[in-house]
Amino acid sequence: MRVAHLSGALLLLLATLVNAEEPKREQKKLQIGIKKRIEDCSIKSRRGDLLHMHYTGTLEDGTEFDSSIPRGQPLTFTLGSGQVIKGWDQGLIGMCEGEKRKLVIPPDLGYGSSGAPPKIPGGATLVFEVDLVKIERKEEL
């Protein structure tokens, strides 16, 4: 009888250990570095603004996966509308025209576990050098 209770207790302990949650991996945060600050900034970017950005995107190892520079055309999008990755929607708020930033974007604010094949693998941390060329602000009603 004692052996049965002891065996039951061991099975319960083993089941508890097997089902114990794995420790959660520490979430990496968006890192924003200002490379060129604008002293006389009359307008700062905010949600809803149409931004014209030059950028170069690399993986952590320095492999370039995209750049607007060779095309000679800045990327144009509405900030905060989901037209770009979350790391951009968050990391470009409060920028001035002519300002340059370096964004280090963790996977959950980039392309996640699926990546953007063939150039961006799943789980990739992205590094962007960005230059805000122009802000177009819609007039408020």
* Catalytically active residues, by annotation: 55, 65-66, 85, 111, 128
What is the dihedral sign for C-alpha 67, 63, 83, 106?
Answer: negative
- SS3 (DSSP) at 122: coil
Which residues are bridge partners to 31 per DSSP? 104
Q: Indicate the pairing of strand 50-59 with strand 100-105.
A: unpaired
Q: Residue 130, CB half-sphere, CA atoms under 13 Å: how many?
A: 27
- 52: enclosing H helix or E strand: strand 50-59
- Please report where in the chains the tokens 């980039």 appear, as a residue: 110
Helix (H) or strand (E) holding 132, with range, is: strand 126-136
